[in-house]
């Protein structure tokens, strides 16, 4: 399965809904999307990963890159993920300490810390 | 002799094929269902790294994946054709080269996932070797 991307706005947050596989082939598309959003002034991003079937280190690199970009504008990048196999990758790389990970988009949108 | 051997040109779009083949052969070999996600991720990381090395070094040879089913374990070898990079040295570019960083992150992910894992630096290139126990079917 290829990567699918769609965005919508809720208040000052931009939700990026990602589906399919994020790997060495598809990660550049996600990178482009995040860069474009930040360039267009969206600095508070919520990446909804509930539809993601596969994530590798290339995908992690893109998410870290996105976080760096929004932080440069005092923004935020939150993740929504309940899937154990995806969460495991964040855990073994220590990135659970870097990204706020939420169980629902509503929770991520409401978060303000 | 490997059970299945796969050669693919060093293009990112073929890494998915390698993941699917490895997971299918691992399942047949009797690797625990719960470990198949690890197999898929680990072989994907190893192949992504090899693709990055080949592309950064202008190597046109294919990446080679050997999947071997033994009595008690299922082994995967992913071989690149770029000498002198597997031990973490970086002759191809500066330390800021993103592809190299991602390759190293890939190794970190594999080492976090797989208990039996080694990186062998050969004259012709590096080999990432990993294995999982199998249960008799």
Residue-range domain boundaries for chain B: 4-133
Domain-embedded: residue A76 = yes
Given this model, what pLDDT does residue B89 score?
A: 45
Is the Cβ pair B51, A24 closer than 8 Å? Answer: yes
Q: Kindly state the average pLDDT of the residues B4-33.
A: 97
Q: Do A23 and B40 touch (CB under 8 A)?
A: no
Q: Provide the mean pLDDT of chain A.
A: 96
Chain A partners within 8 Å of B109 (Cβ): 56-57, 89, 92-93
Instruction: Choose among B55, B67, B50, B39: nearest CA to B126.
Output: B50
Nearest CA in chain B to A21: B16
Q: Given this model, what pLDDT does residue B80 score?
A: 96
Q: How far apart are CA A60 and CA B65, in angstroms?
A: 24
Cβ contact B6:B65 at 8 Å: yes
Range of the domain at A45: 4-108
Quickly state the pLDDT bin for A1 (edges 50, 70, 90): low
pLDDT, tens digit (0-9, with 9 covering 90-100), for A37-74: 999 999 999 999 999 999 999 999 999 999 999 999 99
> Residue B99: pLDDT above 60?
no
ipTM of the complex: 0.89
In this predicted structure, what is the pLDDT of residue B85? 65
Task: Tell me the C-alpha distance between A96 and A88, whole Å.
Answer: 9
Using the predicted structure, report yes or no on whether residue A80 has a pLDDT greater than 80: yes
Whether A113 maps to a domain, the answer reads: no
Q: Tell whether A50 is covered by a domain.
A: yes
Considering only the beta carbons, identify the residue of B37, B48, B112 that sits closest to A58.
Answer: B48
Residues of A with CB under 8 A from a CB of B: 21, 23-25, 54, 56-58, 60-61, 85, 89, 92-93
At B93, is the pLDDT very low, low, confident or very high (cuts 50, 70, 90)? very low
pLDDT one-digit tens code per residue, B64-85: 999 999 989 999 999 999 987 6
Cα(B87)–Cα(B40) distance, rounded to whole angstroms?
Answer: 23
When divided into structural domains, chain A yields a total of 1
- Measured in whole angstroms, the distance separating CA A53 from the mean position of its chain's CA atoms is 14
Edge-to-edge strand order for the sheet containing A76-80? A4-10, A13-22, A44-55, A76-80, A101-102
CATH number of the domain residue A89 falls in: 3.30.750.24
Beta-carbon pairs below 8 A across chains A and B: 52
Distance between CA atoms of B104 and A61, rounded to whole angstroms? 11
Q: What pLDDT was estimated at residue A34?
A: 98
Mean pLDDT across chain B: 88
**Top-tier CATH class for B4-133:** alpha beta
């Amino acid at each position: 399965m290829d990567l699918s991307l769609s965005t919508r706005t809720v208040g000052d947050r931009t939700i990026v809904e990602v589906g399919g596989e994020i790997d060495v082939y598809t990660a550049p598309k996600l990178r482009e999307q995040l860069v474009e959003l930040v360039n267009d002034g969206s600095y508070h991003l919520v990446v909804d990963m509930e539809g993601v079937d596969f994530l590798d280190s290339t995908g992690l690199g893109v998410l870290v890159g996105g976080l760096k970009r929004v932080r440069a504008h005092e923004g935020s990048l939150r993740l929504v993920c309940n899937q154990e196999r995806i969460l495991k990758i964040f855990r073994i790389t220590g990135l659970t300490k870097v990204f706020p990970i939420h169980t629902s988009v509503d929770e991520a949108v409401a978060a303000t810390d | 002799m490997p059970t299945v051997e796969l050669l693919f040109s060093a293009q990112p779009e073929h890494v998915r094929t390698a993941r699917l083949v490895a997971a299918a052969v691992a399942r047949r070999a009797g690797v625990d269902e719960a470990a198949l996600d690890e197999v898929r991720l680990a072989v994907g990381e190893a192949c992504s790294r090899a693709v990055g090395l080949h592309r950064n070094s202008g190597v046109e040879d294919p990446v080679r994946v050997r999947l071997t089913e033994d009595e008690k374990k299922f082994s995967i070898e992913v071989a690149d054709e770029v000498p002198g990079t597997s031990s973490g040295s970086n002759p191809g570019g500066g330390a800021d080269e993103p592809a190299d960083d991602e390759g190293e992150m890939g190794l970190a992910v594999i080492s976090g996932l797989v208990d039996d894992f080694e990186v062998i630096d050969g004259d012709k290139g590096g080999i990432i070797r990993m294995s999982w126990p199998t249960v008799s079917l």
